[in-house]
Amino acid sequence: MSSSPVLLAAALPEPPPGHLMIIGGGEDRTQDMRVLRRFVELTRAAAPKVVVLTAASNEQDLVAEVYRHAFGILGAQHSVFAMHTRQDAAHPAVVDHILEADGVFMTGGDQRKLLAIIGGTRTAAAMHRIYRERGACIAGTSAGASAMSEHMLAEGYVDPHPKKGAVSLAAGLGFVPRAIVDQHFSERQRLGRLLTVVAQNPYLLGVGIDEDTALVIERGSGIEVVGRGAVTLVDGREMHSDFLELYDRELIELHNVRLHLLPDGARHGMQEGAAPDSSPMPLPLREAVAILCSGEYPM
C-alpha cells in the first residue's frame, strides 16, 4: 500500500531556521571584515551563493564594486544586481538568483528608495521565501537595516531629546514585525529620535545599531551581537508619557522606559538558558528577545 500524501508531507524534515543580520552601517569591507565574514558563515554553505541588492544607493555601480571585492575575498559566489525601477525588481533572472541564494545582502543608501523599488515585488517575496523555507540569511546595512522591519523609520531629524513629530514611519519589508530599527546609532546620536518613535508607538521595540556592528536574529531561537559597537534596545511597553497632550516639536516626558545595551559577543536565547554561554537574563530582556525572534508581543 502506498503512503498517503499527508504522511509523506509530515515526514519531510523541518528547514533550518533562517537568520537575519541587521547592520548599523559602516561595516569594515577591507580589513578583518568581522561582520561580513559572519554573514557568510550564517549562510551555512562552503562556497555560498550571495545576492547583493544595491537598490537603496544613488551610486550603485560604485557600491557594487565594493561588495564584489569584499565577498570575493571571503569566498562567496556573488551576484550583484543594480535596480532602478520596480520592473528591475520583478525581472525573472533576479528572482531566480535569489531563490537559489544562500544569502541576500541589501546595501545602504536611502531606505525610502529601497522600498519604492522592491517593496511588494517578486524580489521581496523571494527573499521571504528563502528565509522561511530554506533557512537563508537575509542581511541589510544602514538603509538596508532600516528596511528589515515591518514598520520602517523613513525620516527624522536628529535631536538629543525626544520631540513629538520629529520622525515619520513607513512600511518596511516585514522581516521583524514588532520592532523599529535605527542605524549609525551612537555615531549620529540617535537615541532621542528612537525614543520619539517608541513614545509614539509603544508596541514597537526600538533597536539602535552602531556602525560596524550587527544584530543577528535566529528565527525562533535567539540573538547575538557582532562588531565593534553595541546594540541598544528601547522597550516602552510599560512606559508612561505625555505624548498625546503635546504639540509638534514639544519635548516628550517619559517614565519607566527600559533600555538594554548589548555589546559585541552578547548572545541571548528566547528561553532562559537557551544560549549556554550567555549570562542569566532578566525577564524584560527575555521578552524583548522574544519580540525580535518571533514577532510575538508579550502581554
The predicted pLDDT at position 276 comes to 44
| Residue carrying the nine cell digits 536628529 | 158
β-strand partners of 216: 21, 224
- Sign of the torsion angle spanned by Cα atoms 34, 43, 147, 164: negative
Taking Cα atoms as reference points, which of 28, 21, 22 lies closest to residue 212?
A: 28
Q: CA 64, CA 77: separation in Å to the nearest integer?
A: 14
The predicted pLDDT at position 232 comes to 98
Q: CA 83, CA 80: separation in Å to the nearest integer?
A: 10
In terms of phi and psi (left: phi > 0; alpha: psi -120 to 50; beta: otherwise), the region of 262 is beta
Q: CA 288, CA 223: separation in Å to the nearest integer?
A: 10
Q: Residues with Cβ < 8 Å from 264, sequence gap 6 or more?
A: 213, 225, 226, 227, 228, 229, 230
Question: In the chain, which residue ranges form alpha helices assigned H by DSSP?
Answer: 5-11, 34-42, 60-73, 86-89, 92-99, 111-118, 122-133, 143-146, 191-200, 283-294
Question: Taking the chain (299 residues) in consecutive chunks of 10 residues, what is each chunk's mean pLDDT?
Answer: 50 80 98 97 95 97 96 95 95 96 98 97 97 96 97 86 92 96 96 95 96 96 97 96 94 96 95 54 91 78
- Sign of the torsion angle spanned by Cα atoms 210, 80, 97, 38: negative
Q: Residues with Cβ < 8 Å from 105, sequence gap 6 or more?
A: 39, 50, 51, 52, 53, 67, 71, 139, 140, 141, 144
C-alpha cell, 256? 519607566
Q: CA 94, CA 86: separation in Å to the nearest integer?
A: 12
C-alpha cell, 9? 508531507
Domains and CATH numbers, the chain: 16-294 (3.40.50.880)
Q: CA 197, CA 299: separation in Å to the nearest integer?
A: 20
Q: Residues with Cβ < 8 Å from 61, sequence gap 6 or more?
A: 82
Q: CA 106, CA 56: separation in Å to the nearest integer?
A: 8
Taking Cα atoms as reference points, which of 174, 129, 148 lies closest to residue 21?
A: 148
The predicted pLDDT at position 139 comes to 98
| Whole-structure pTM value | 0.92
Residue 55, judged by CB atoms within 10 A of its CB (0-12, 13-18, 19+), counts as buried
